[in-house]
Each structure stands twice: as C-alpha cells, then as structure tokens.
C-alpha cells in the first residue's frame, strides 16, 4: 500500500522505508539526528578545520584535494577554498559524458581559484564496455563505472602528491537522505569486475580500478595519512543560494537540475531509474532540502508535480546516450525491458567490507598493521608499534 512521509516527501517507492506513529519516515528521522549533531558554533569549528588543513599541508605542494565535477556542491566548495586561503589540487574526471556547461564550469572555477587542475579522460572504449555491461546486468546504480573511476583517480593523485586532506562537496543540506535500496557503493572494484566478467566483451586495458587496499584505506579509514572532511556542513549551506553566488562571481552555468553536468547521469536519474525501478531521486534530494530548511514540504510537493523531462529534452538526451553507447533504437528498447536485479545478485565485497568496518580494538589495530605492511609503509608501521602499540610498563617499572 502506498504511503508518503508526513514530514518529508519520501514514500514507499523505497522498499525499506519505515514510519513511526507520527507518520515520519526513518530517513527524515535519521536526517534530523545528523543535522542536530552538527556543531552549534559552526564558525568556530570551520576556523579550526581550516587551520588544521593548513597545518597538515605545511611544506607540501597542496594542502588538500578537491574533486571538481562542475556540479553545484563541488563548485561551491572550490569557490570557498579561495576564501579560506587553501591550496587545493583540483581534479576533474571526464568519463565521456560531460555537457558543454560542465566543461565551462570546471574551467571557470579553476581560473577563479588560479589553482592547478588535473584532467583525467577515461578510455572511452573501456568505459563504454563497462557501462554496456552494467545496463545488461539490470542493477539500479548505473553510475558506478563513472563514480568508481572518479574515486580511483582522486586517490591516485592523493598518493602521488602526498596530499593530507580530501575535501568533499557532500553535505547534509542537500544530501542527508539517500535510500540504500536505490544504489550500491561505487568503490567496490570486485563488483565491477564480476558484472563486467559476465556481460563485458573486451579486456579493460586502461580502466583504473580501485584496489582492495585503496578501498580499505579510504572507505574503512585505514589510511590515516589522509583525512576526509566535508566543510560545507560547517556553513549555513543552501544549494539554491550557492547556484546564484557561483553564477554571479564565476560565470557558472546552471543545469536546471541536480547532476545535470553529465548527459548519462541526467538521463539515468531522470528517466532510467524511474522507468525501470520506480525510483525518483528528486524525492531524496527535496526531502533533504526540507530537513535543512531550504524549502518547505509544500514547495517540494509542487516540484514533484513537474515532469522529470519535457519530451523534446528526453528525446535529445536518450539519443545522445543510446548512440554514444552504440545501440540501435530496437536494441535500446530491449535494454529498457530487461529483467531488473538488485546488486546482491552479483558478487561483491559488501559483506567483507561491512565486517572490517565494524572491527575495533585489538582486531582493528591488527588490520591496520596488516594494511600498512601490505602497502609497504614501514615508517608509519614502526611509529605505531613504538608509540601507540608499545607494551604497557609493568607495575613498578620506571620508578
């Protein structure tokens, strides 16, 4: 039976949603909790964070790294980095789907900051084969190949330049709600490889997979030389207001919707997911904005009444996606009518990573030591052994 939250606009299109006695869903309840845990004095917390980043980056070429997609969140983060006198390395990954607006926005932000920009362009034949494999698999998160490459390239640059801080544009203001059932972790290279092994047609000669060690280092926090921060959470961040600031000061071009910087993501989120799975990601985004006070529930409901696509734009974007992936109209119709599958139908490291992430105490110490040993970071391992993990003195020793 259909049901919608009485506080946000999430509904039973999420198969895992639950409601309390007041009709509030688990998503906005969790979002409210996360928002309440933010520092009460954000200005002070932000000042301390900036000083910390600058201190960790002292005597290094860069004190932080920012992945710049050209979307509003990463663009505004880069914009603020200039105000904070940070020295970021900007990284942009072109997976083959950049819109002209995103190309403009990436260049404009790099020029505004006068910061170095690393541009990585995916091998299109590899990317296309991976994306075709994912489409044939029928899983929900079709953005995994693009997102995985993004994380892999960022982490590669972190290690290459010994960058101590990774600044993310993720934020609770617009992204506090995202149902797990609607996607899957993009950093699981085993999942990618297994789907490609079953449905791919070529060897992926140049695609940059994130290794298990990198996955453990980033996702499980085993790489203690890298600190991850989301500074937008320490601002009174409003994505709607950020767009206007970027347009005024940087010549940034608005896409008219979230994640409009990619032809594929725009089509995937606004047509493929709703048609194939009934997932309208606007509900999660709008619900996040409700919880952060950026919009009202009535405004969100009004926005949801608008069509995801006007017919002309849908036809244009579908043609771009279909032809670039190498499908005829008839073949594309077959793709859109294949059986759907949850990500759990394909092998992954989800259970392993979940168990590892939950470890603590002596078990986690052992796993971190093993990680450092396999990574070859003997200096850090030696320091941990001599300081954090040294034998405690017996009673009376040293007296």
The 3-state secondary structure of 11-47, one letter per residue: ECCCCCCCECCCCCEHHHHHHHHHHHCCCCCHHHHHH
Which range of residues forms the domain containing residue 63? 38-277+309-348
Residue 121 and residue 134 in one domain:
yes
Burial 151-168 (b: 16+ CB within 10 A, else e): bbbbbbbbeeeebbbbbb
Residue 377 and residue 321 in one domain:
no
Residue 217 and residue 338 in one domain:
yes
Residue 94 and residue 53 in one domain:
yes
Residue 240 and residue 328 in one domain:
yes
What is the edge-to-edge ordering of all strands in the sheet holding 165-167?
A: 117-121, 88-94, 64-67, 165-167, 227-229
Q: Which pLDDT belongs to residue 98? A: 95
Residue 46 and residue 179 in one domain:
yes
Q: Which pLDDT belongs to residue 244? A: 96
Residue 83 lies in a domain: yes
The reported pTM is 0.91
Residue 399 lies in a domain: no
Contact 188, 215 (CB under 8 A): yes
Residue 314 and residue 335 in one domain:
yes
Residue 77 and residue 181 in one domain:
yes
Give the torsion sign (CA, 40, 249, 54, 212).
positive
CA 248 to each of CA 226, 242, 253, 254: distance values in angstroms, whole numbers, following the listed order: 34, 10, 10, 11
CA 152 to each of CA 27, 175, 197, 213: distance values in angstroms, whole numbers, following the listed order: 29, 22, 20, 12
Residue 247 and residue 122 in one domain:
yes
Contact 127, 194 (CB under 8 A): no
Per-residue pLDDT of the chain (399 residues; tens, 9 = 90+): 999 999 999 999 999 999 999 999 999 999 999 999 999 999 999 999 999 999 999 999 999 999 999 999 999 999 999 999 999 999 999 999 999 999 999 999 999 999 999 999 999 999 999 999 999 999 999 999 999 999 999 999 999 999 999 999 999 999 999 999 898 989 999 999 999 999 999 999 899 999 888 888 887 888 888 899 999 999 999 999 999 999 999 999 998 776 678 999 999 999 999 999 999 999 999 999 999 999 999 999 999 999 999 999 999 999 999 999 999 999 999 999 999 999 999 999 989 888 988 898 888 888 888 888 888 887 777 777 766 544 444 333 333
Q: Which pLDDT belongs to residue 383? A: 73
Residue 84 lies in a domain: yes
Contact 191, 184 (CB under 8 A): yes
Q: Which pLDDT belongs to residue 394? A: 39
Task: Report the number of distinct structural domains present in the chain.
Answer: 2
Residue 227 and residue 86 in one domain:
yes
Residues 6+ apart with CB under 8 A from 203: none
Give the torsion sign (CA, 172, 176, 180, 182).
negative
Residue 343 and residue 357 in one domain:
no
């Amino acid at each position: 039976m259909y049901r919608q939250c009485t506080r946000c606009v999430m509904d039973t299109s999420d198969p895992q949603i639950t409601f309390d006695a007041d009709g509030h869903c688990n998503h906005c309840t969790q979002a409210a909790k996360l928002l309440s845990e933010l520092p009460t004095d954000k200005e002070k917390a932000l000042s301390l964070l900036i000083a910390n980043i600058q201190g960790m980056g002292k005597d290094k070429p860069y004190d932080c790294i920012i992945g710049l997609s050209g979307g509003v969140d990463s663009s505004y983060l880069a914009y603020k980095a200039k105000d904070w006198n940070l020295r970021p390395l900007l990284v942009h990954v072109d997976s083959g789907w950049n819109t002209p607006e995103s190309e403009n926005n990436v260049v404009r932000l790099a020029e505004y900051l006068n910061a170095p920009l690393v541009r990585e362009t995916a091998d299109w034949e590899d990317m296309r084969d991976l994306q075709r494999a994912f489409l044939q698999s029928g899983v929900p998160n079709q953005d995994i190949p693009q997102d995985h490459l993004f994380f892999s390239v960022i982490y590669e640059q972190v290690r290459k330049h010994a960058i101590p801080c990774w600044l993310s544009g993720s934020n609770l203001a617009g992204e506090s709600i995202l149902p797990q059932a609607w996607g899957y972790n993009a950093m699981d290279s085993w999942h990618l490889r297994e789907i490609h092994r079953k449905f791919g047609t070529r060897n992926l000669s140049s695609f940059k997979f994130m290794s298990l060690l990198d996955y453990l280092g980033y996702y499980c926090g085993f790489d203690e030389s890298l600190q991850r921060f989301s500074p937008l959470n320490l601002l009174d961040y409003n994505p709607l207001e950020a767009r206007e600031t970027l347009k005024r000061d940087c010549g940034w071009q608005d896409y008219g919707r979230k994640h409009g910087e990619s032809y594929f993501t725009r089509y995937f989120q606004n047509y493929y997911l709703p048609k194939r799975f009934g997932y309208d990601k606007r509900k999660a985004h709008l619900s996040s904005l409700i919880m952060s006070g950026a919009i009202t529930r009535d405004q969100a409901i009004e926005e949801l009444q608008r069509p995801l696509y006007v017919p002309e734009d849908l036809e244009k974007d579908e043609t771009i996606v279909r032809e670039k992936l190498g499908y005829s109209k008839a073949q594309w119709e077959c793709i859109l009518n294949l059986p759907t599958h949850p990500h759990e139908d394909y092998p992954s490291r989800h259970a392993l990573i979940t168990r590892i992430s939950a470890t603590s105490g002596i078990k986690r110490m052992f796993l971190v030591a093993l990680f450092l040993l396999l990574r070859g970071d003997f200096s850090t391992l030696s320091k941990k052994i001599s300081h954090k993990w040294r034998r405690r003195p017996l009673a009376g020793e040293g007296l």
